[in-house]
Amino acid sequence: MKRHVVNFHYTLRDSAGNVLDTSAGGEGITYLEGAGQIIDGLDTQLRGFAAGTKTRVQVAAAQAYGERDPAQVQRVPRAQLPVEGELHVGDQFQTGTDRFDPVVTVAGIEGDMVLLDANHPLAGVDLNFDVEVVSVRPATDEELRHGHAHGAGGCGHG
C-alpha cells in the first residue's frame, strides 16, 4: 500500500469539551503514515483524507494513551523526591535526571507522603481531535527506509 506524509493542524478536547492541546499558531504535525509518529487511532482514521479536509476524529482512551492503571499510583516519602521547594497536586516532574526518565504527576499529598501517578496524563481520557489536513504527499523512498517523515532539509542522519 502506498504510504503518505501528512501535515495537519489539530485541536484536542476531552469529552467535556476542555481544550487539552492545540497545534494552532505552530507548524502543525508532520508524520509518515503507519510509522507510529502519532497515536494509532489518529493515524488510522486520517487515512485517505485530502488536503483541506476538516474533520473530527474521536479516539477512545484504549487506542490513545491507554486506560489508567491504578498500580501506577505509588505512595512515596516526600524526602525521596528530587524536587526542591513546595509540591502541589498536579505538579509534574521527571523521576530522574535523564530526559527519557518517566514523568510523574503529584496526585495527592498526605503529610510526609506523596502520591505519585506514573500514568500518562492523558491515560483514560477519550480524545476528540478537530483536524484540518494541510498537506498530503507520497512518502519518499528515503522516508520509508527511515520510518519517519522528513522536512525540507531531510533528517540529517542520511
Nearest approach in angstroms of CB 91 to Zn ion is 36
Give the span between the Cα atoms of 32 and 128, in whole angstroms: 21
Residue 51 makes contact with Zn ion by CB under 5 A: no
Nearest approach in angstroms of CB 8 to Zn ion is 20
Interaction residues for Zn ion, span 115-154 (CB under 5 A): 146
Q: Give the nearer residue to Zn ion in terms of CB position, either 5 or 64.
A: 5
Residue 35 makes contact with Zn ion by CB under 5 A: no
Q: What is the DSSP string of 52-74?
A: T-EEEEEE-GGGTT----GGGEE
Residue 103 makes contact with Zn ion by CB under 5 A: no
Here the cell at position 125 is 481520557
**Residue numbers at the binding site for Zn ion (CB under 5 A):** 146, 155
